[in-house]
Amino acid sequence: MSLAPTVEQEIIKRWESNPMLKPRIAKVTVNIGIGMSGERLQKAAQVLEMLTGQKPVPRKAKRTIRNFGVRKGENIAVMVTLRGRRADEFLRKAFEAVGGRLKASSFDQAGNVSFGIEEHISIPGVKYDPEIGIFGMDVSITIERPGYRITRRRRCRKKHIPARHRVKPEESMVLLAQKYGVTIV
């Protein structure tokens, strides 16, 4: 489901006429969920640190699920938030791992996109280590326009961004296709 060339050209023309309308990648969140604490979680943290160059943060279970042996407050996942140059470098490798293709259903109404990588060894430049094993991961990309800072700043904070300034899924698709050569399926 690729966008029509005329729609894509119209979006790009609008961005060129007003630079405040061109979206950008705010952050990339990489998550490895294990479902239990222990040695396997430590190995997942090693993999994330090796891939991203940042120290991962453990994530706790929100509630107890007896069938899975998970207790509330137990560390069950690790995650890393990447911004700027590191996010760009990681995204290039991640898109190569998924073949440069994303489903249109991966985009939400706010223009953000999430996809999964089944095995971390499919990322270019990563070798298989039998001591560590193989881990899958979730990659979430947050896309926003300049001006979104008003929801986070300390002084004169606003509660929401007007609908006309929010990023639409079509614009996110054009941005990723233009910047990373991603094909939307």
The number of domains in the chain is 1
Q: How far is CA 111 from the centre of its chain?
A: 12
State mean pLDDT over 40-54: 94
Whether 45 has a pLDDT exceeding 90, the answer reads: yes
Beta strand spans in 44-126 (E)? 57-60, 75-82, 101-102, 113-117
Taking alpha carbons only, the member of 138, 106, 103 closest to residue 120 is: 138
pLDDT confidence bin for 68, thresholds 50/70/90: confident
Q: Output the CA torsion sign for 172, 2, 178, 95.
A: positive
> pLDDT, tens digit, for every residue of 132-183?
999 999 999 999 999 999 999 999 999 888 888 999 999 999 999 999 999 9
Number of helices and strands (H, E) in the chain? 4, 7
Q: Which pLDDT value is given to residue 1?
A: 53
H helices of the chain, in order, are 5-17, 39-52, 84-97, 169-180
Task: Enter the tokens of residue 35.
Answer: 């479902």
Torsion-angle region of 123 (φ positive above 0: left; ψ -120 to 50: alpha; else: beta): beta
Predicted confidence at residue 3, as pLDDT, reads 73
Radius of gyration of the chain (CA): 19
Average pLDDT over the chain, rounded to an integer:
93
84-97 and 39-52 are packed helices; what angle lies between their axes, rounded to 10 degrees? 110
Domain that holds residue 167: 5-184
Give the residue-averaged pLDDT of 73-79. 94
pLDDT in tens, 49-61: 999 999 999 999 9
Per-residue pLDDT band at 75 (split at 50, 70, 90): very high
CATH number at 136 reads 3.30.1440.10
Residue 37 — pLDDT band, cuts 50, 70, 90? confident
